[in-house]
Amino acid sequence: MAQMEYSKYRRTRLKVGDEVIVVAGKEKGKRGQIMFIDKNKDRVVVQGINRQKRFQRPTQENPQGGVMEVEGTIHISNVMFYDAKSKSGMRVGYRVNPDGSKIRVGRKAGEEKELKEKAEK
């Protein structure tokens, strides 16, 4: 019997551009949009959350150099999709329609709600 191969990446239902709320850690309760997802390390960069100081040496592009503030990463298990109507976090899943297409749905207290996808730029 052949052995099943598993992906080395954790499956995430969050996408870049989703608004999330931080549910654990020093930034708990703050909201922001996902800017980047690192699937290798299971971490996300959320706009305005976990700001860290980076020291920049003077270069030709930035002759001044100095201290810059950038967003650090947070583990993906510490963020949750934010629902603006209920003003709280919710889990995200998928539902298969009868025609075979999949749509993302939010799951909150046993009920499902279809999530609107952000318009692609």
pLDDT digits (tens, 9 = 90+) for 24-81: 999 999 999 999 999 888 999 999 999 999 999 999 988 998 998 999 999 999 999 9
Rounded distance between C-alpha atoms, residue 75 and residue 9, angstroms: 14
Taking phi over 0 as left and psi of -120 to 50 as alpha, with beta for the rest, 24 belongs to beta
Q: How do the domains of the chain map onto residue ranges?
A: 19-86
Q: Is the pLDDT of residue 90 over 70?
A: yes
Rounded distance between C-alpha atoms, residue 121 and residue 112, angstroms: 28
The domain over range 19-86 is classified in CATH as 2.30.30.30: yes
Stated pTM of the model:
0.76
